[in-house]
Every structure is written in C-alpha cells, then in structure tokens.
C-alpha cells in the first residue's frame, strides 16, 4: 500500500484544522499555502472529508473550512480511508473471491496480518496525539501559527 497524495494532503488539512480547534474557520487559501497543498486539490479533498463528517465547508466571503469533530476523536485511519478508501495490501485480503488460492495460500495470512497491524497503528494515532508528538513529520511550528 502506498499513501496517495490525496491521503497525505487530507492528513495535512485535518492536522492544520486540528491545531486551530473545533469550529474555527480557516480559509482554504491559508490552509493550502501553509500546508503545501494545491488549492484545487484541497477543494476536492475537503469535499470528501465533509461527506465523511470530519469537517464543514463554510460558503461566503468569510467562509472556509472548519473541523467538525474533536481532534481526539479523529484518527489517521479515519482520514486516510475517507479519502482513498479502505486500506489493503493485496486484493485477496479484501476480496478473497479474486484469488483462487486464498484458502490455501500461506502468503494470504501474512498480508492479513500486515494489513491488521497497519490499520491498528493508524487507528491508534489521533490528531490530538499528533499535535503533541515531537516526532510529527509536519512542522508544527508552521501549523500552530495563527496567520
């Protein structure tokens, strides 16, 4: 599994909004500029995240995006799967009927275990914990500034 740009940008967007707090409206341009997300791409990602209930899109001159769920209630798994769909490493894990050997294949069990471990790790990482984690790959000094 490779995290797509859409998944990466969705994580950046939610991390930025989480740093501001639930209900705080941030302009799309501000988020795009500070988190290095192409503005048009951010619009598409925001729609997917809004459909999943993680953020709200506010229209109008003072509009923008705002987090709709507390950062401690949103996980990396939630956001990634909202944008790219269910995470899996091999088709046979998610659709056993696609592989005639899935019942007898020893590799199938390895794929299942790896998928389960990845999902568990992403499920444990809430956006609240990411904001307090010094090892975060997104520079929090950029995220935390109120521009």
What is the chain's mean pLDDT, rounded? 85
Classify residue 144 by its DSSP letter.
S
Q: What are phi and psi of 101, to 5 degrees?
A: -100, 0
Distance CA 11, CA 19 (A): 12
What ranges do the domains of the chain cover? 5-86+126-143
pLDDT above 60 for 145: no
pLDDT above 70 for 93: no
pLDDT band at 146 (very low <50, low <70, confident <90, very high): very low
CATH architecture of 5-86+126-143: Orthogonal Bundle (1.10)
Residues β-bridged to residue 64: 58
């Amino acid at each position: 599994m490779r995290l797509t740009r859409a998944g990466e940008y969705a994580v950046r967007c939610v991390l930025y909004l989480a740093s501001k707090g639930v209900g705080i409206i941030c302009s799309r341009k501000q988020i795009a500029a500070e988190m290095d997300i192409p503005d048009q791409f951010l619009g598409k990602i925001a729609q997917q995240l809004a459909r999943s209930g993680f953020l709200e899109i506010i229209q109008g001159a003072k509009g923008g995006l705002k987090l709709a769920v507390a950062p401690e209630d949103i996980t990396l798994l939630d956001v990634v799967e909202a944008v790219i769909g269910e995470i899996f490493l091999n088709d046979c894990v998610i659709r056993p009927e696609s592989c005639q050997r899935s019942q007898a294949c020893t590799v199938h069990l390895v794929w299942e275990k790896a998928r389960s471990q990845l999902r568990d790790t992403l499920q444990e990482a809430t956006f609240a914990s990411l904001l307090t984690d010094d090892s975060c790959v997104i520079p929090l000094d950029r995220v935390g500034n109120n521009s």
